[in-house]
Amino acid sequence: MSHTADEVAQWMFKELRFAGILYQAEAVNYIKSNFGEAFIYVNDNGHESIDKDVKKAFKKLHGGKAAWDRDAFYWGWTSSIKV
């Protein structure tokens, strides 16, 4: 079965809603295993990252209510209010 960037983004959003935090390394591993390597690429720093189309769809889903922590490599809610 072929997956879409939107399906991957929906999984990421559900994980964030459930746990309140989503670590990139865990997301990359899950996405590779369950959606396929097509949604992962190696960035300029040599690290595996999530496809830009997936991240764009994910951003639409959380509507700016989640932020990326550059130091700890995770997404978390920008306030105590969850959607």
- The CATH code that applies to domain 5-77 is 1.10.10
Confidence (pLDDT) at 27: 98
Q: Look at residue 74 and tell me whether its pLDDT is greater than 90.
A: yes
Confidence (pLDDT) at 17: 95
Q: Look at residue 31 and tell me whether its pLDDT is greater than 60.
A: yes
- What residue ranges do the domains of the chain occupy? 5-77
What is the per-residue DSSP string for the chain?
A: ----HHHHHHHHHHHHHHHSEEEHHHHHHHHHHHT-GGGEEE-TTS-EEE-HHHHHHHHHHHTT-EEEETTTTEEEESSS---
